[in-house]
Amino acid sequence: MKKYRISLLCLLAVLGSASALAQIADGGLEVAAEHARINAERQQIEKRFADEEAGCFQKFAVNDCRDASRARRRVEMADLRRQEISLNDAERKRKGAEQMQRMEQSAAAKDEPPAAVGTATPRGTGSTRPHALTEPRKPYDPTEAAKAQAARKATADNKARNHQENQATRARRAADVAAANEPARYAKKLQEAADHKAETVERNAAKTKAKSAPLPEPAP
């Protein structure tokens, strides 16, 4: 009798979930129909705008006509976009509810009463160890999923920020090292210039001495 009650409860849970899924599916059809309507209206607006633009060139105030047509098109497109955003939000909620209903349906179909601790096993098994109690699977929670996604994004942002800070620190250190070595390089350049000048002066003095040397006396 107890097993019969458990089976009946499981059957009622499955039927209830199936009914909820049917309602969700109907909602999905309505959302798809609304998307189709929005796309059709958007195409009609674009076609009318093209026709109005062509007609504006036949009028005297061409620019005023085109500006008015563009403003009307912009307002109508913005209204369709708002409707589309609302539908997308409803679609996300519908899919989340559908997934939750499926998980609840699966859990209800597989749910069994846990064995009591210390209950003897059937004869012939040779073991009296109780069955391990498994933790029930948590249903899908869109809020928790959004929090987890936000946490992953924050972690990625922190890594990117730390990488940028490390790059900036290395660049500052390289600049400090270059600035510290700048006096030594400047002194080396001064010494090289002085050595070059000394060599030039010595070379010019040798050339001058060679030109001013007296000619040898002629032989008698």
Tell me, yes or no, whether 134 lies in a domain.
no
In a shared domain, residues 2 and 106: yes
Residue 55 CA to residue 24 CA, distance in Å, equals 47
Tell me, yes or no, whether 217 lies in a domain.
no
In a shared domain, residues 5 and 97: yes
In a shared domain, residues 8 and 99: yes
Count CB atoms within 10 A of the CB of residue 17: 20
Tell me, yes or no, whether 128 lies in a domain.
no
DSSP category for residue 133: P
Owner of token pair 């539908």: 87
Tell me, yes or no, whether 216 lies in a domain.
no
For residue 166, the enclosing domain spans: 141-209
In a shared domain, residues 151 and 82: no
In a shared domain, residues 161 and 94: no
Q: Pick the residue with more confidence: 20 or 46?
A: 46
In a shared domain, residues 32 and 90: yes
Q: Please tell me the predicted confidence (pLDDT) of residue 78.
A: 93
Least confident of 131-145, 174-188, 194-208: 131-145
Q: Please tell me the predicted confidence (pLDDT) of residue 216.
A: 61
In a shared domain, residues 87 and 149: no
Q: Please tell me the predicted confidence (pLDDT) of residue 219.
A: 62
Residue 19 CA to residue 13 CA, distance in Å, equals 10
Tell me, yes or no, whether 17 lies in a domain.
yes
In a shared domain, residues 11 and 94: yes
In a shared domain, residues 90 and 178: no
In a shared domain, residues 2 and 61: yes
Q: Which residues contact 121 (CB under 8 A, 6 or more apart)?
A: 127, 128, 129
In a shared domain, residues 8 and 68: yes
Cβ-in-10-Å burial (0-12, 13-18, 19+) of 89 comes to exposed
Q: Please tell me the predicted confidence (pLDDT) of residue 22.
A: 47
Based on C-alpha coordinates, what's the Rg of the chain? Answer: 44
Instruction: Return phi, psi of residue 180, to 5°.
Output: -70, -30
| Confidence check: pLDDT of 178 > 60 | yes
| Confidence check: pLDDT of 214 > 90 | no
**How do residues 68-78 score in pLDDT, each as one tens digit?**
989 999 999 99
Residue 11 CA to residue 199 CA, distance in Å, equals 108
Task: Among 64, 95, 111, give the residue marking a domain's end.
Answer: 111
Tell me, yes or no, whether 132 lies in a domain.
no
pTM tops 0.85, yes or no: no
Tell me, yes or no, whether 215 lies in a domain.
no
